[in-house]
Structures are given as structure tokens and as C-alpha cells.
Structure 1
Amino acid sequence: MLPVVLVHGIRLSATMWGPVISHLDRPAMAVDLPGHGTRSGEPFTMDAATSAVADAVDALGGRALVAGLSLGGYVGIATAERFPGRVAGLMAMGCTARGPAAAGTYRFAASLAARNPSLANRISSYGLRRLLPGPVGEAMVAGGLSCEVMPQVVEAVTGHDQLAALAAYPGRVWLVNGARDPFRANEREFLRACRNGRLILIPHRGHLGVLAAPGPLARLAGDLCDQLGSYVRTSYVQEERPESAVATPRTR
């Protein structure tokens, strides 16, 4: 049974994936990236981040589906490029924005957060709990927040060519976006760069809102692991082929 390695978003930690892991029917591990969670204080580089993901894959047997959200998705893309033999497939969520405008927005937000990390952490914690009330929101903040590392993360992500990385990776890629996520801005560019890619849209969800229903998200990851045909067999997504034809979602 193919395991899953889950990669968190910027300033968060592995704990954000707890609700999803609890619904998975297969081995899974969430990893703390450098500068985050249990690795707070470590410098963040893309090489160090991808090595952390590869180590988690090795701990699960040497081959896994890598699933990441936001920063985790960008790191997943870089991991697939650097360690294609370990990444059996890539589920990259909320990470299809690129270019000068996106980089400028990231840098501005990161510089603000780094000026007063303690305040930024408190504001982020409050906002995450409001956006995702209950266990999902608590999981987001349980491992602590690390706004001080945000400038390093932004420079690492903007310094990496995600399109070239996707073009180099021979395996299957699923780009998963909330339909209301502003970070899906360049999803068609990312999809065209993939050798074997699909775009999956989650209706009515924003950037972090894809985590609001951990059970269906876990089922989606399990279905991708199982490679069950041309269409993803879940009740809450629509899948688009590269030529933009929309598949009718199946129900269980």
C-alpha cells in the first residue's frame, strides 16, 4: 500500500495534517520543514526542505505520494524534481501562482511578519482559528507558528523554477486548488508544464479551506495513491483534463 508524505504551509507545522492523517487508510507521515515546528530556528533552504521530505519518504519505505499545501506544494514540486525515484506521485495543492506580482505580494507579507514575529504569530493563530474553527483550526496552530522564517521561505520559493521542475518530473501530478483560491492564478501554466498532469478543483473552497473537510481530502489522497483510472473517484471534486474538458465527478 503506497504511503503518503504530507508537507505543511508557510509558518505552520506538521500538526496541520493531523485531521487528514486520522482519516487516511494507509501509512502516512507529516514532516516539519526547516525553520518550522520542531525545527524552528533552523535556516530554510529549498535543498534542506526537499531533503526533509525525502527523509520522510525513506522512513516509509522509500517511495510515497507526496502531498503538500501552499509552501508544501512548492516544496513537493522541488522534491519531485530532485528525488523523482522517491516521489511516486505528486499532489500539489494551492501552489500554482508565480511571477513578479506574486513574488512581490509574498515578499511584502513576509517582511511585515518578520518585523514583529510574536505579534504576527498571534494574529495568524487568531485568524486560522476563525477561518477553520474546531479541530482543524486547532491542528493548524498546535505545533506553533514561525513567522520569523517567512522571508527566507519566500526567497527560496521565488528562486526556484517550478515549471522547469514539473517538466523534468516523469511521474503523475495532480494540481489541486480550491475554486476560490487566488493562488490558482497560473494553474494552466503549471498544468501545461506537467508531463502527466491533471487539475482538480474543489468547489466553494479557498486557499486553506481545502482542509475544512479532512475526510474527503484523505479519500482523495487515497484514490490518487490507488491510481483508480482516468477520473478521481470522490464526491466533492471536479477534474479537468489538460485540454480543459471537464469530467463529471462520480459518486460513491
Structure 2
Amino acid sequence: MGAEHGRVPVVLVHGARTSRTMWRAQVGALERSGRRALAVDLPGHGALRGESFTLAAAVAAVARAVDDVGGRALVVGLSLGGYVAIEHRAQRPEQSAGLVAASCCTDTASPLRRPWLRAARWIESWPDSGERLNRALVDATVPRAGRADLAEGGFALDAMSAVLAETGRCSPLDRLAQGRSPVWVVNGRLDHFRLQEGAFVRSARASGAPVRLVVLPGAKHLVSLDAPVAFSRVVLEAADSIEADARAARARSAGAQLPGARPADERGGVGDDDDVVPEPLERRGRDRP
């Protein structure tokens, strides 16, 4: 599994115009649980802002990160990172212990993509590349702790048009139907990217892999920043489930050599097919605005 002491490592992939620092809350939670966590910068973002964004280069960046943590990992992606993580799972199934696809339930072939691309190019042509608009949107929609996490890695204000052009070439619904590793589809209840949530879940289930849908109350598109404790809990439960499956598989393999042995079901986390809507966690520190 590429894990230390039976713990599955986790690779986290950020959204468009942000960077790996958006995952600071989740990296901290995962490390406290004893797991190795690595948040990566995609081309054109963060420390790689000087590089051109392409889907192929983004998938390659995720693959390198998985190699760095042992060769097989739970990959967590949000928005752009979710689409990249879906593509990585399809292209590199041997590296995928599981997928958490967050805030990416609109097909990239949506008719909305072309007008959004025109708007992105127009904003990037402004003298400040939309810096003041971006700051106002972040200040208005992201909790204080999340704003600090986003600002730490800076904003790739000139990356959006390349991101939209490149992601338009992928087919996440088709790609979700490929691969065999378990999938968690995670959305904020108020996310405008939930347009095709049901279709994404059905496509993932068409592969025969276990799939969970998790909707977090009160959260918007940047679900990991709006509800960091609740989102971290989903990632931890996903990792627990993958690890429990691995233990159960080893027990079954050992039991097959012992007549009459029936290893106990060790599956952790959430059930295979049930949709899950966790209770609000507003009492828990950083989930407050």
C-alpha cells in the first residue's frame, strides 16, 4: 500500500489559482493520525507558477508525489484538483489506493465552460489580472483561517484560462467509470458545482468500485476551507476504510490456508453503498467563520 506501519499515505491536490497551502488543516490532521501527507503544487500554481499548466503535466505531478510517498496513495483533490485526481486514477490505477473527489461534480464539457473561459481571459487582461476582484471574493466567501491558508501560497491569477482550456479536453464522467479503487464524492451542500452530482456518483459506481457520496451542510465550493474539521474527518475515514480493507484482505488470504477459518469483517468508516450526510460541526473550532 506504500504505507508506513500499515497507514495509507495521502496526496492532496489543490484547486485552480490556489496552491498546496490550502491543505494545511488537512495535512496537520493526517500527520497527527500517524499518516504521511503530501500536498502538491500543480504546474502554473504555487512554487510552479512559472510553468505552463497542462493536464498531462498536472497528472505527472500527482504521479511523482505518489511515488514520493511510497508508490500508492489515497489521492484527495478539490475542484481542479478533483478533475486531475480523477484523471490520475484512470491513467495510473496501480498508484490509486482510493480517490476523494471534492467539489468537481460538473462535467468539463458543460456549455458553461466557453463563456467562463472568455470571462477568464478578459479578467486576466486587466492591469492587476483580477487581483482586487479575487481578494474581494476570497474575503467575502472564505472563513478567516482559510483565507490565511490560501494567501500563504499566493494566487495564480493568470492560470485560469489555461486551466479551463486544458480541462475541457478531459472527460471526468467517462474516467470515473475506469479504475477499481474506492471513491468518495464530497460536496458542500451550497456548492454551485453540484450540478451533476448524481451522474458522477453513477459513473463511479459503474466501475464496480465502492463509492460514497458525502455532502457537508453549510459548506460551499471550497468545502475543505469552509468546514475543515468535517472535511478532514471524511479524509480520515476514507483512509481508515482503505486500511481496514487491506487488513481484511490479508486475513482472508491467511484464512484461505486454514480450513474453516472465517476472518471477521474489519471494514471501518462508512458503509459501501450508503450516501452519508454528516451532522454539522459548527462547534468544532475552525469550522466557524
Q: 2:18 aligns with which of 12, 22, 30?
A: 12
User: After the TM superposition, which of the residue ranges 91-100 and 29-38 deviates more from structure 2?
Assistant: 91-100
- Partner SS for 1:23: helix
Aligned to 1:63: 72
Maintained 8 Å contact 2:13/2:39:
yes
Structure 1's unaligned 5+ residue stretches are 233-238
- Per-residue displacement from partner, 1:82-120 (whole Å, max 9, x unpaired)? 111111100000001023323234313422332127341
Aligned to 2:234: 220
What amino acid does structure 1 have at the position aligned with 2:198? R
Distance 1:90 1:209 in 2: 16
What amino acid does structure 2 have at the position aligned with 1:202? L
Distance 1:117 1:190 in 2: 38
What amino acid does structure 1 have at the position aligned with 2:37? A
Change (3 A) 1:183 1:247: closer
- Per-residue displacement from partner, 1:57-95 (whole Å, max 9, x unpaired)? 111111111001100000000111111111110000000
- Partner SS for 1:145: coil
User: After the TM superposition, which of the residue ranges 7-16 and 193-202 deviates more from structure 2?
Assistant: 193-202
Q: 1:124 aligns with which of 134, 158, 170?
A: 134
Maintained 8 Å contact 2:216/2:277:
no
CA drift at 1:123: 2.2
Aligned to 2:147: 137
Distance 1:105 1:97 in 2: 15
What amino acid does structure 1 have at the position aligned with 2:125? R
Aligned to 2:106: 97
Output aligned runs, 1:175-214, within 5 Å. Answer: 175-194=185-204, 195=207, 196=209, 197-214=211-228
- Per-residue displacement from partner, 1:156-210 (whole Å, max 9, x unpaired)? 1111011121111111111101111110101111111112222111112111144
User: After the TM superposition, which of the residue ranges 65-74 and 100-109 deviates more from structure 2?
Assistant: 100-109
Distance 1:117 1:66 in 2: 37
Maintained 8 Å contact 1:5/1:29:
yes
Maintained 8 Å contact 2:213/2:275:
no
Maintained 8 Å contact 1:191/1:199:
yes
Q: 2:48 aligns with which of 35, 39, 57?
A: 39
What amino acid does structure 1 have at the position aligned with 2:187? N
Aligned to 2:253: none
Aligned to 2:123: 113
What amino acid does structure 1 have at the position aligned with 2:23? W
Q: 2:63 aligns with which of 49, 54, 57?
A: 54
Maintained 8 Å contact 2:20/2:40:
yes
- Partner SS for 2:101: strand
Aligned to 2:89: 80
Overall identity of the aligned pairs, in %: 38
RMSD: 2.4
Aligned length: 243
CA drift at 1:215: 2.3
Length-normalised TM-score, structure 1: 0.88
Report which of the two structures shows the higher radius of gyration computed on alpha carbons.
Answer: 2
Change (3 A) 1:91 1:43: same
